[in-house]
Amino acid sequence: MMENRKELREVTLGTILDETVEKYPDNDAIIYVDRDFRLTWKQFADLVDEVAMGLMALGVQKGEKVAIWATNIPFWVVLQFATARIGAILLTVNTNYKIAELKYLLQQSESENLFIIDGFQDTDYVNTVYELLPELKTQQRGYLKSEEFPHLKRVCFLGHEKHRGMFSIPEIRAMKAMVTVEEYKAREASLDPHDVVNMQYTSGTTGFPKGVMLTHYNIGNNGFWIGENQKFSDKDRLCIPVPLFHCFGCVLGVLAAVNHGTTMVILETFDPVMVMASVEQERCTALYGVPTMFIALLEHPLFHKFDFSTLRTGIMAGSNCPVEVMRKVIDRMNMSEITICYGLTENSPVMTYTRIDDDIQKRVETVGQPLPFIEVKIINPETGVTLFPDTQGEVCCRGYSVMKGYYNNPEATAGAIDADGWLHSGDLGVMDKDGFLSITGRYKDMIIRGGENIYPKEIEEFLYRMDGIQDVQVAAVPSEKYGEEVGAFIIPKKGVSLEESDVQDFCRGHISRYKIPRYVTFVDSYPMTASGKIQKFKLTEISVDIWPDRR
């Protein structure tokens, strides 16, 4: 079995890339069908080196955070490895963020560098950054001094256009001449596989987003086993339409591929026709997506016009995978070896995974067994006692994959990882005697809308700022299309008249579109326990009666 073939490796992401380049220098590494962009592994590595040396010339030090606020453009993956080669930490920023969320992330992370594109959907990133940092327009580039963001030193633009106060990609590439190869090699030689290389913001179990610190060792090894589990090789071609700012894109996608010399066919944003065209044109053997993406493909009127005969495997994950959708993907998209995995950002992220040779029932109805070198157990969340098979409890895991901790938040870290090294997921599950895990619910109140994690407390804190609201509780509302939608249950102040649209208008432009409550209702009180705790699960239950026509 594959579990016995390999050991965990203590290497950096740069070393993993070097090994792949040495084995397959002329194979395709990265392809974008929509712009006829393609690089071999050798060309990709050369571009990584250029940008990495340019970053050193800019003054980026080992341990500095480099925030990237961008869609899946080619330079996203280049920056992922350029930062890794010089000991910087790639800080991934959700493309849906608005100004308040970006401000929070930059301040809490103490980020020294920010890379942006021009914008996404209805958000102009350049103007947003100028609004947060008016000093950019008047101060010398690279010497930023901001009272609100005292750690921030540089802002760079991921393109050729010039913006006041920002460095452009061509300028950064040209600056590599200021750094010697010896200096570059010395920097890379000074790195430790247990250094933090990636930071992603998640709320973990509760509260405001926290920066999850992941090391080369964490995500390099997890990426290897994810690819191994799909039997990836240099002959495979993986279509990646999921966001790179999530672990789904940058670990399950990029690092699984780089570990195995697998070609990456990347889409800047999800578009059903471009996904199908990419699969057909590049003869992809693997495809990733959250369930809503696969549903969008299967139900697209042009679906039957595309050739899926080269597909073999892939991953459906991010939210609960409906059994019927899995069966259709196997039958109609030729993905006979499609897999489901389960995990969380704090675990790099995958802890359990279906195997391609598991029987069909296990592959569509469970999230698989633990990956090699990861222990998984089910505990009573109240007592911490390990439970017998087939008993529901909280899912916990332990192993190489557990994060280093939350950035500047030892209290939250201690709340997530216990003294014995077990990471507590906050999810409820049942494990059978053979180690197959089924996720049954959540011990925490997180909402998962089409693969996006939404934390009620964050939205509640924002809505508390609205005049006329006395109290607000945010809970999941079941949805056929997205799995769950955001519902706001509001107690208005006495004498105040509010409409659903007033609440939604208050949110627009300030928090991400997917976090804006799709459903709003006004109530007099909340269901409570005897000890006075609000029962959010009951709000979810009554939502079915309040909004019977939801989709």
CB 222 within 8 A of CB 255: yes
Task: Check whether 194 has a pLDDT greater than 50.
Answer: yes
- Three-state secondary-structure class, residue 224: helix
- Confidence class of residue 460 from pLDDT cuts 50, 70 and 90? confident
3-state SS of 477-489 is EEECCCEEEEEEE
Task: Check whether 350 has a pLDDT greater than 80.
Answer: yes
Which range, of 187-191, 315-319, 502-506, averages the lowest pLDDT?
Answer: 315-319
Give all domains of the chain, ordered by start, each with its CATH number: 2-332 (3.40.50.12780), 447-546 (3.30.300.30)
Task: Check whether 447 has a pLDDT greater than 50.
Answer: yes
CA-CA distance, 451 to 459, in Å (whole number)? 18
**What confidence score (pLDDT) does residue 205 get?**
43
Helix orientation angle between 74-85 and 41-58, rounded to the nearest 10 degrees: 60
- Confidence class of residue 529 from pLDDT cuts 50, 70 and 90? low
Which range, of 9-13, 257-261, 390-394, averages the lowest pLDDT?
Answer: 390-394
The tokens 């909004």 sit on which residue? 547
Per-residue DSSP letter, 476? E
pLDDT digits (tens, 9 = 90+) for 465-483: 899 988 888 999 999 889 9
The tokens 């964050």 sit on which residue? 458
**What confidence score (pLDDT) does residue 470 get?**
81
Residue 490: in which H helix or E strand, if any? Answer: strand 483-492
- Confidence class of residue 550 from pLDDT cuts 50, 70 and 90? confident
Cα separations in angstroms, 6 against 232, 354, 415, 483: 14, 19, 33, 37
Tokens matching residue 471: 């109290």
CB 515 within 8 A of CB 507: yes
Task: Check whether 528 has a pLDDT greater than 80.
Answer: no
- Arithmetic mean of pLDDT, 16-20: 98
Task: Check whether 1 has a pLDDT greater than 50.
Answer: no
Strands 393-399 and 369-370 turn out to be unpaired
- Confidence class of residue 207 from pLDDT cuts 50, 70 and 90? low
Q: How many residues are recorded in the chain?
A: 551
Of all residues in the chain, the percent with pLDDT exceeding 90 is: 81
Task: Check whether 204 has a pLDDT greater than 70.
Answer: no
**How many Å from the N-terminal Cα to the C-terminal Cα in the chain?**
43
CA-CA distance, 321 to 24, in Å (whole number)? 35
- Arithmetic mean of pLDDT, 251-274: 98
CA-CA distance, 339 to 317, in Å (whole number)? 9
CB 83 within 8 A of CB 64: no
pLDDT digits (tens, 9 = 90+) for 151-166: 999 999 999 999 999 9
Tokens matching residue 398: 């332990």
Q: Identify residue 289 by its one-letter amino acid code.
A: G
Task: Check whether 530 has a pLDDT greater than 70.
Answer: no
pTM: 0.86
b/e code 97-126 from CB counts within 10 Å (16+ = b):
bbbebbbebbebbebbbbbbbebbeebebb
CB 41 within 8 A of CB 24: yes
- Three-state secondary-structure class, residue 300: coil
If we measure between CA atoms, which residue out of 209, 227, 237 comes closest to residue 105? 209
CA-CA distance, 51 to 125, in Å (whole number)? 22
Which range, of 54-58, 286-290, 364-368, averages the lowest pLDDT?
Answer: 364-368
542 φ, ψ to 5°?
-75, -20
pLDDT digits (tens, 9 = 90+) for 77-88: 999 999 999 999
**What confidence score (pLDDT) does residue 339 get?**
96
Tokens matching residue 405: 């901790």
Strands 28-32 and 263-266 turn out to be parallel
Q: Looking at the DSSP assignment, which residues form a beta bridge with residue 215? A: 196
- Arithmetic mean of pLDDT, 106-127: 97
- Confidence class of residue 3 from pLDDT cuts 50, 70 and 90? very low
- Arithmetic mean of pLDDT, 485-501: 93
Q: Looking at the DSSP assignment, which residues form a beta bridge with residue 266? A: 240
